[in-house]
Amino acid sequence: MTQSSTAQTLYPYREIYFRVRDGLRLYGRHYPAASGTAVGRPVLCLPGLTRNSRDFDAVAAYLSQTAIPRRDVYTLDFRGRGLSEWDSNWKNYTVPIEAMDVMDFATLCGIHDAAIIGTSRGGLVAMIIAAIQPSVIGCTILNDIGPVLDPDGLLRIASYVGKTPLPGNWAEAAESVKLGNKRQFPNVTDDEWAIIAKQLFNESDGRPSQGYDPKIGNAFSVLDGPMPAIWPQFDALSRHPLLVIRGEETDLLSPETVETMCQRNPRAEHLTVPGEGHAPLLRDQPTLQRIAAFLQATDTANLRAVELVA
């Protein structure tokens, strides 16, 4: 593992480059808890199908610098996304292999009993980890993902993954992202679309560059969709507290599925984010405060359990 100095940004973090078991070089970030403050359980953020660690800048900054208690936050670019290397074999872009990559990252960083924030694909990875290596997880936040995915949402995602033209400049990138998402995010401003475009695309010579390997589209259409229900993997999360976040405008996670998730996990809570679709951006103050409150409550419950054992 190699670790750079703190990056120059409004959101202070350290960059981590490491190699997973098959030799691929991946990228992650560590947002350290503000110095001199109490530290709650660490947080590990896992992104969506074509997204990356940049999606979590706002929530990572909030949890590490503002919320009480402060926390170490780690984010990861899955293989073929963000600043991680592309895999020469696109058939390796699967949830089980990505789960193994996460466990390699957790081992290298000494992460255990963590709060997992899984957005979309990242939530599926969290379910697999809960089934095969539960010690990594202390609680889970599933962001607009569940064990049953609506076909309309899957078809929409399949229609653009690996097929979106690369914009020529950042203004075009912001407009492209806006046009593709404004129906599910009607309240996002032009300035915010510019920020989201910077999250989605990499940068090369001052211009947008591919933020993910287009061959992920092959893996998604062949291996992941239509996706069968994975209730047994979801049930593995029942060992720990769970917060299910759903976008009010989403076409991927139905209210009925959320209701069943909460019925099957008695420790589950749910939050609907108004005016946002798939997947909620985790940037607005009410959502950040709810996440922080949920994590603080799980810290307290964990501390009480330790005291009872002692």
Interatomic CA distance for residues 114 and 71, integer angstroms: 10
pLDDT digits (tens, 9 = 90+) for 116-140: 999 999 999 999 999 999 999 999 9
**What is residue 112's predicted lDDT score, i.e. its pLDDT?**
94
Helical spans, DSSP H, in the chain? 57-61, 95-109, 121-132, 151-160, 170-181, 190-200, 216-219, 231-235, 255-264, 285-309
Residue 7 has pLDDT above 50, yes or no: no
pLDDT digits (tens, 9 = 90+) for 260-302: 999 999 999 999 999 999 999 999 999 999 999 999 999 976 6
User: Which pLDDT band holds residue 92 (cuts at 50, 70, 90)?
Assistant: very high
**What is residue 219's predicted lDDT score, i.e. its pLDDT?**
83
The one-character DSSP state at 34 is: P
Interatomic CA distance for residues 117 and 114, integer angstroms: 9
Average pLDDT taken over every residue of the chain? 91
pTM exceeds 0.85:
yes
Which range is least confidently modeled, 17-31, 196-210, 218-232?
Answer: 218-232
DSSP-assigned states of every residue in 253-294: S-HHHHHHHHHH-TTEEEEEETT--SS--S-SHHHHHHHHHH
**What is residue 185's predicted lDDT score, i.e. its pLDDT?**
97
* 221 or 70, which is more confident: 70
**What is residue 225's predicted lDDT score, i.e. its pLDDT?**
46
Integer angstrom CA distances of residue 39 from 90, 181, 279, 285: 39, 36, 28, 21
Interatomic CA distance for residues 282 and 274, integer angstroms: 12
**Residue carrying structure tokens 């949920």:** 294
Which of 222, 230, 247 has its CA nearest to residue 161?
222
Which range is least confidently modeled, 54-63, 155-164, 202-211, 289-298?
Answer: 155-164
Amino acid at position 112, single letter:
H
Neighbouring residues of 37: CB distance < 8 A, sequence distance ≥ 6: 68, 69, 70
Neighbouring residues of 201: CB distance < 8 A, sequence distance ≥ 6: 166, 167, 173, 208, 209, 210, 211
Residues 53/75, Cβ–Cβ less than 8 Å:
yes
**What is residue 10's predicted lDDT score, i.e. its pLDDT?**
62
